[in-house]
Structure 1
């Protein structure tokens, strides 16, 4: 599987989890906790493989300010979702409306980020990297995902 297919599949999985979380009520405590655990793991693994493997390859292949801007914007969106909103959500009482609000914000941030990647960055990556490189990156990313899921603290 090439890198773009792998990341797009991750995006679909995350969208489904975030949609399900956003649809829960303040009474669905167990479901909220279970979903949040899956979201945390999947988001950290996804962000890690992008930041360690895909983004550097994109940046290195890039040929101008627009590519560098895309790279740094993607990193900042990871920081906003993974380092700011997600930790706040993890610390929020799942029976509260505050949890509902934070879950919605995380969903919206992720959807914005994934949409930008899929419409802009991935299109550009296909042109910059080519099919063979994307296949090799996809293999490395799939292997790294397995490692990260075995050792969640590494993510």
Structure 2
């Protein structure tokens, strides 16, 4: 599977889980707990493979200017989600209304980030990288993802 297909599949899976989480009520403590653990694991694996493998390949193939801007913005969005919003959510009582608000903020942030990647970065990557490069990156991404989720 090529890199872009793998990353888009990850986006779809996380969007579904975040939608499921947003649909829960404060009474669904067990379901919320299970979902947030899954979301945490998937987001950490996804951001790691992007930052270790995909983004560096994109940056190396890219041109200065807009490509660099896209690269650094994506990293900052990862930082906002991974170091600020997600840790706050994980530290919040799953039975609280505050949890609902934080889950919604995380969902909106992830949807924005994934949407930008899919509309801007991925089409650009298809122009910058060959089919062979994307397939090779896909294999590397998948192997590293399995390692992280094990």
Q: Does 1:135 align with 2:135?
A: yes
RMSD of aligned residue pairs (Cα, Å): 0.4
Q: Does 1:117 align with 2:124?
A: no
Inter-partner Cα distance in structure 2 for 1:37 and 1:95: 15
TM-score scaled to structure 2, two decimals? Answer: 0.99
Q: What is the number of residues matched between the two proteins?
A: 150
State the match for 1:147 in structure 2.
Answer: 147
Deviation, 1:143, is 0.3
TM-score scaled to structure 1, two decimals? Answer: 0.96
State the match for 1:102 in structure 2.
Answer: 102
Deviation, 1:63, is 1.1
Point out 4+ residue stretches in structure 1 off by more than 4 angstroms. Answer: none
Q: Does 1:82 align with 2:82?
A: yes
Q: Any gaps of 5 or more consecutive residues in structure 1?
A: 151-155
State the match for 1:60 in structure 2.
Answer: 60
State the match for 2:21 in structure 1.
Answer: 21
State the match for 2:7 in structure 1.
Answer: 7
State the match for 1:34 in structure 2.
Answer: 34
